[in-house]
Chains A and B, each alone.
Chain A
Amino acid sequence: MAKLVSLSDSDLSASSEESVSSRIHRSLRLAEQEKRKNEAEKPFVLALKYFSEVEVGTPVVGNDEFENHLAQVEKVAFSKGLSPEAVSVMLEFAMSLRMGSSPCARVLKCLIPDSVVPQEAVFRAVVWLSVGKIPISTQVLFIKWVLTVFDMIDAKDKLRAIYGFIFSFITDENLVCDSNAFKLLGKAGRQPYLLHLLSLYKVFCPELVTLSIPSRMRSGFKNHISPWKSALMALQKRGSLQVASSISLNFTLKNKTGSRKRRHRHLELPELSRVTNTGVNTEQTSSRKLVPLVQIQSFEQLLKNMHQIELPAQMGSLLGSRLALQYLDCVQDESALLRLNFWLGYALHEEFLFCTDGGAGQNAEEALQFLNKLLSAQQFLQEGFHSSDAFLYKFLNIWDGSLLRPQILGLLSNIPVIPSSRECQNEKLSCGLIECLNNMLLKWLTWHSVYALEDDLDISLHSHTSINITLSGFKDSVMDLVCFVGRLASVGLQLEGCHSLLLSFVLDFYETVCDTFLKFGLPLVVMPPPGVFYPAMFATDPVSLDRLAYIMNRYKMNLTSAKSQEKVTSHAFHISRQTYQEFNNYLAFMVNCLWNSSMRCPETDIQLSEELLAKSGVPQPWMRFDLIHHPAFMMYAVEFHQKCWPGRKDMDLNSIKQAKPWSWYLEFLFTQGFGGLKDFFQNNISRPGQELDSAQSKKQPLVS
């Protein structure tokens, strides 16, 4: 109040002349309202003060002060409900019997909470229950009150500890609990509400309630209780059953109110609870005593009860408890794991795949915690859950690469080995992969060629795109990609035994690579690794070899063009000596092999020793890969031989090497559609006039 007034004072002094009067009126009016409100509550505050401070032994009879204050509290209680603090004060007053037991019941009847009931207050009241000499009827009233407001008690951790204690007071109702069955003793036992309680209990544990209970019971618990209930309902209707009013001075609510209802609940772990569905296997339970996992508190207990643990009703709850995970690590129960996987898969799918309203974004924090919990569980078990793998395979298709990256990558690292099947699946996968990378390279290069051209001699590419990338940065990226695919292809070809389908996809890729400069204007030339070159060179199908020849020819054109540009313009790119060297080696090898029937290839990493070749037992091994004897062309050589010398009985393929037949043979090959080879030889066999002198003709390597 004082604060408010002083505020409006300062307001007044600070504001400008014109609006002063209206402002004064307004603030005065507000202050007046506030004052009136406070005055209305003042007697109530005084009353509470009275009840918290009244001395022990103060008489009740003829005590007008007491009467007025209590009336005040009752008025507030039935109109607005009592704040948690007020409930504490009044409960303490009543149960402590400071003014004897006569006002006790009356006070209890008006304990209508407006929001929550502090656990502390109930706890203290129970303590008073055992200390004071409270009449039985009042004790019962208190218990009933506790039951009525039970769900409004703000916390129950301490209360739980004294349940047994509370129940001991209920013996007054003649309810005796024996170990195996409830029995009703005495006449009071036939009271309808007890019967009803038992009938409810019988639904859940039929084996414990032997009593036969009439199936239709109308009256049930019909209000023995509630003076409170109707009052609570009335408050609820008026909507005043809300957070504390102005007198809750120092009581803070334990975020019990507000909207606890969330839209996505699938990320919540279920509670670790017992199976209630025991009806099916009652025999099992009786023959072997099972210990619910909920009751296991320590590792020691876990070990002791390992053989008789009962899994919880919902397996998802295991994820939240270390001990439960320990057990899961040992459990052999397939159904249990399956249940867990169903739940986990469901939660992941709903959260990340099916949520159309951006659920993952909405409760990112929750998702983060969930995944972290999952990760730590997987780490603990040292392997991934099947359902999380299945989820990842789908999720990766839509993942943007940044959402919860560390968690998703963490999950990915737990994907188990997938045993490779010996069918064609793997080749298809490798082919698909290479094709995909080839497409990626093509897109990169096209992007480059479009923007680089517009930018007039590609210095920087940033003006047309949000990605600020320099030419050298781009070149590095392309280089990385090409080298990566080169390694991948080498390994792939090796694993798949140089499968010709895969080889074809790899050659597709190098058809893109060899033309980066001429076709896409990117000053970069990267040669294929030996793991790609040699398999293509020794491929058994002529198509692969023809394509290799085409690729080598394109390389040559790119390199010569780059070289000529280097000479003309000063700022042209520089191709490393090593690239030229690689190219020359490959070229020399190809020409030597196919043309010169020699396998000499100087300066390469791969050298075959003569002894090793001799061991193979193949006569004249250096001749095995010339155009006539190469496994890819042998068929053509034979066909040519037959056409050339139809009358000959003994076939001597070497006779094709003679000058005339050799040129005819080449013509023959070129008419079979080997355009790549044709270009290759026309461009690389330097002296066409001396072609016939095959043994001598040798390609001049490019000067580097």
Chain B
Amino acid sequence: MDRSQISVGRATLGSAVRSRRKSRSQRQSMRSVFGVASRLGLTPALTTQRLNTSRKPYKSQTITEKINPEHLALLVKRQWKLSYVTPLYQFRHTQMTTYARRLSAFIAAEKQKGLAVEVGELQDTFKVCFSVLQGMSEAKDDPEAILIQVKSRPMFAKQDEPQKTVWSGWLACVDGNPEYLNSLPTDFTCLPLFGSNGAEGLSSLVKSWFQINFDCCFGPLDIGETSLEWLAALWTNCNGKSNIQSLKMHWTIPAVHALHVEYTVSADDAWALWCSIRGRSLEESNGTEEEGCIDIEEVKSFMQGLMGHFYRHFRLDLSTGNLNQISTALGSATLNDRIKVSTSIYLISTLRLLTELALLRLPI
């Protein structure tokens, strides 16, 4: 690949992708003429990436038109355990059936370990489905998301009973940083966000199959406090269109005996606070006109407001503790790696935030 082309891609995400070196002659020239071959067009300062400090609020989308409703039903109302994934090498969206067959054979073989030959039944018990989640992407550079389902017939089921999905998982990239995505060579597919639901054992089998076949790595994706605050604000911001019912927060205050605080704010109160921060009246914001971006400052002052209110009533400063969990009628998220989206309308925006988080976790 053309060197100059690569270094252009590098500009912001800095580190992404660069060949270690090109050729011996080039290496020598690099040694003699200092810094001529700029294989590292980055300075250390640029490598420290930050979460966006401003994001677009919910835009009314007709997600049901974009995504197959059956798939959508599978994605919502379930708790997903999140991981980040390094780019997949030689992954083809056209090979779904082959992958399904291979993965089911792999699961069968792994389940079989220690039992030598008894394959027949087991291969029957686990059937894998790979499908492309058409429409679960935003930008044109996003690769299509993938849905994986492992189906099985319960132990004592009748012959004709249909198989049940015992495990499901997806890989997605929603509105990923285009510069990063474009900087990857074409034989890599970047689907940095992985969600799984089902037995841990199967999750790790699927992960190791991906690792072996596409030379990628899976690591846990902690959502983190800042992102929880973002979700709290973004979800509350939706109240104008879809009632969030209440904003529940779970805090842990470090003390001799750790103090757990469940703090529930009614939708109306949270909404009023949010509107006052956004600097507009309640009536105004119920309108449909285009909203401006939400800034991190607004998110922070929203949380400050909530904490201040709590302090006035209970004389307990929540900012000394840790926010562990956020939940509204739109979904819930925990500090570590679990998320649940309850209504489809906000699915994409949530995934966009998570994709951003996952991309930040990638080593280069």
Q: Is the CB of A196 within 8 A of B364?
A: no
Beta-carbon nearest neighbor of A397 in chain B: B48
Q: Is the CB of A345 within 8 A of B117?
A: no
Known: A203-B101, A335-B89, A339-B215. A147 touches B116 (CB 8 A): yes
- Cα of A486 to Cα of B43 in the assembled complex, Å: 25
Cβ of B248 under 8 Å from chain A: no
**Which of A192, A203, A313, A386 interacts with B213 by CB under 8 Å?**
A313
Task: Provide the residues of chain B in CB contact with A347, threshold 8 Å.
Answer: 217
Known: A200-B105, A314-B215. A390 touches B47 (CB 8 A): yes
Cβ of A150 under 8 Å from chain B: yes
Beta-carbon nearest neighbor of B363 in chain A: A345
A39 to B: closest C-beta gap in Å: 34
Q: Is the CB of B118 within 8 A of A204?
A: no
Q: Is the CB of A425 within 8 A of B119?
A: no
Beta-carbon nearest neighbor of B122 in chain A: A220
B40 to A: closest C-beta gap in Å: 6
Task: Provide the residues of chain A in CB contact with B98, threshold 8 Å.
Answer: 279
Q: Is the CB of A342 within 8 A of B116?
A: no
Cβ of A394 under 8 Å from chain B: yes
Cβ of B188 under 8 Å from chain A: yes
B192 to A: closest C-beta gap in Å: 11
Task: Provide the residues of chain B in CB contact with A338, threshold 8 Å.
Answer: 17, 19, 184-185, 188
**Which of A219, A348, A425 interacts with B120 by CB under 8 Å?**
A219
Q: Is the CB of A193 within 8 A of B117?
A: yes
Q: Is the CB of B20 within 8 A of A383?
A: yes
Cβ of B123 under 8 Å from chain A: yes
Task: Provide the residues of chain B in CB contact with A383, threshold 8 Å.
Answer: 20-21, 27
Q: Interface-forming stretch among B31-39, B130-138, B258-266, B282-290?
A: B31-39
Task: Provide the residues of chain A in CB contact with B114, threshold 8 Å.
Answer: 151-152
Residue-wise, chain A 336-359 has the 8 Å CB interface mask toward B (1 for contact) of 011101111111111000100000
**Which of B36, B105, B124 interacts with A218 by CB under 8 Å?**
B124
- Cα of A465 to Cα of B293 in the assembled complex, Å: 50
- Cα of A402 to Cα of B188 in the assembled complex, Å: 38
Q: Is the CB of B185 within 8 A of A314?
A: no
Task: Provide the residues of chain A in CB contact with B27, threshold 8 Å.
Answer: 383
Beta-carbon nearest neighbor of B15 in chain A: A390
**Which of A219, A220, A229, A418 interacts with B40 by CB under 8 Å?**
A418
Residue-wise, chain B 238-275 has the 8 Å CB interface mask toward A (1 for contact) of 00000000000000000000000000000000000000
Q: Is the CB of A418 within 8 A of B42?
A: yes
Could you say which of B42, B90, B95, B364 has the most chain A C-beta atoms within 10 Å of its C-beta? B364
Known: A393-B47, A418-B42. A220 touches B120 (CB 8 A): yes
- Cα of A229 to Cα of B119 in the assembled complex, Å: 13
Cβ of B115 under 8 Å from chain A: yes
Q: How many A-B residue pairs have CB under 8 A?
A: 172
Cβ of A273 under 8 Å from chain B: yes
Cβ of A387 under 8 Å from chain B: yes
Cβ of A444 under 8 Å from chain B: no
Residue-wise, chain A 404-419 has the 8 Å CB interface mask toward B (1 for contact) of 0000000000001111
Task: Give the interface size bracket for A toward B.
Answer: 35 or more
Q: Is the CB of A225 within 8 A of B116?
A: yes
Q: Is the CB of A342 within 8 A of B118?
A: no
Interface residues of A in 301-349 (CB under 8 A from B): 313-316, 332, 334-335, 337-339, 341-349
Task: Provide the residues of chain A in CB contact with B121, threshold 8 Å.
Answer: 220, 222
Cβ of A128 under 8 Å from chain B: no
Cβ of B129 under 8 Å from chain A: no
Cβ of A276 under 8 Å from chain B: yes
Cβ of A391 under 8 Å from chain B: yes
- Cα of A144 to Cα of B124 in the assembled complex, Å: 22
**Which of B19, B44, B90, B188 interacts with A277 by CB under 8 Å?**
B90
Q: Is the CB of B105 within 8 A of A203?
A: yes
Beta-carbon nearest neighbor of A382 in chain B: B27
- Cα of A349 to Cα of B363 in the assembled complex, Å: 7
Q: Is the CB of B101 within 8 A of A386?
A: no
Q: Is the CB of B86 within 8 A of A270?
A: no
Q: Is the CB of A386 within 8 A of B15?
A: yes
Task: Provide the residues of chain B in CB contact with A417, threshold 8 Å.
Answer: 34-35
Beta-carbon nearest neighbor of B18 in chain A: A386
Beta-carbon nearest neighbor of A150 in chain B: B116
Known: A266-B219, A391-B363. A419 touches B35 (CB 8 A): yes
Cβ of B291 under 8 Å from chain A: no
Cβ of A420 under 8 Å from chain B: yes
Cβ of A221 under 8 Å from chain B: yes
Known: A313-B213, A389-B40, A394-B48. A346 touches B219 (CB 8 A): yes
Cβ of A217 under 8 Å from chain B: yes
Cβ of A280 under 8 Å from chain B: yes
Task: Provide the residues of chain A in CB contact with B216, threshold 8 Å.
Answer: 342
Residue-wise, chain A 249-282 has the 8 Å CB interface mask toward B (1 for contact) of 0000000000000000010001001001101100
Task: Provide the residues of chain A in CB contact with B185, threshold 8 Å.
Answer: 334-335, 338
B146 to A: closest C-beta gap in Å: 15
Q: Is the CB of A419 within 8 A of B40?
A: yes
Q: Is the CB of A387 within 8 A of B215?
A: no
**Which of A266, A313, A420 interacts with B35 by CB under 8 Å?**
A420
**Which of B87, B187, B215 interacts with A313 by CB under 8 Å?**
B215
Could you say which of B39, B95, B113 has the most chain A C-beta atoms within 10 Å of its C-beta? B39
Cβ of A607 under 8 Å from chain B: no
Cβ of B58 under 8 Å from chain A: no
**Which of B20, B43, B220, B222 interacts with A337 by CB under 8 Å?**
B20
Residue-wise, chain B 71-115 has the 8 Å CB interface mask toward A (1 for contact) of 000000000000000110110100100100110010011000111
Task: Provide the residues of chain B in CB contact with A192, threshold 8 Å.
Answer: 120
Task: Provide the residues of chain A in CB contact with B18, threshold 8 Å.
Answer: 386
Task: Provide the residues of chain B in CB contact with A221, threshold 8 Å.
Answer: 117-120
Cβ of A223 under 8 Å from chain B: yes
Cβ of A581 under 8 Å from chain B: no
Q: Is the CB of B363 within 8 A of A418?
A: no
A395 to B: closest C-beta gap in Å: 11
Known: A354-B219, A418-B42, A425-B43. A387 touches B363 (CB 8 A): yes
Cβ of B320 under 8 Å from chain A: no
Cβ of A700 under 8 Å from chain B: no
- Cα of A315 to Cα of B36 in the assembled complex, Å: 29
Task: Provide the residues of chain B in CB contact with A345, threshold 8 Å.
Answer: 86, 362-364
Cβ of B199 under 8 Å from chain A: no
Cβ of B1 under 8 Å from chain A: yes
Residue-wise, chain A 198-241 has the 8 Å CB interface mask toward B (1 for contact) of 00100110000000000001111111011001000000000000
Cβ of B211 under 8 Å from chain A: yes
Task: Provide the residues of chain A in CB contact with B36, threshold 8 Å.
Answer: 419
- Cα of A144 to Cα of B42 in the assembled complex, Å: 60
Interface residues of A in 346-400 (CB under 8 A from B): 346-350, 354, 383, 385-387, 389-391, 393-394
Cβ of B212 under 8 Å from chain A: yes
Q: Is the CB of A204 within 8 A of B116?
A: no
B119 to A: closest C-beta gap in Å: 5
Q: Is the CB of A386 within 8 A of B364?
A: yes
B116 to A: closest C-beta gap in Å: 4
Interface residues of B in 165-208 (CB under 8 A from A): 184-185, 187-188
Beta-carbon nearest neighbor of A216 in chain B: B124
- Cα of A277 to Cα of B101 in the assembled complex, Å: 12
Q: Can you report 29 residue pairs joining A to B where beta carbons are below 8 Å apart?
A: A144-B117, A147-B117, A148-B117, A196-B119, A197-B119, A220-B120, A222-B118, A226-B118, A277-B90, A277-B102, A280-B95, A334-B1, A335-B89, A335-B185, A335-B187, A337-B19, A342-B217, A342-B364, A346-B217, A347-B217, A383-B27, A385-B20, A386-B20, A386-B364, A387-B364, A418-B40, A418-B44, A419-B35, A425-B43
Can you add 13 more A-B contacts, CB < 8 Å, to A394-B47, A416-B39? A147-B116, A196-B119, A196-B120, A203-B105, A221-B120, A266-B217, A270-B212, A342-B86, A350-B219, A385-B20, A386-B20, A393-B44, A420-B35
Instruction: Point out residues on B near A: beta carbons under 8 Å.
Output: 1, 15, 17-23, 27, 34-36, 38-45, 47-48, 86-87, 89-90, 92, 95, 98, 101-102, 105, 108-109, 113-121, 123-124, 184-185, 187-188, 211-217, 219-220, 222, 361-364
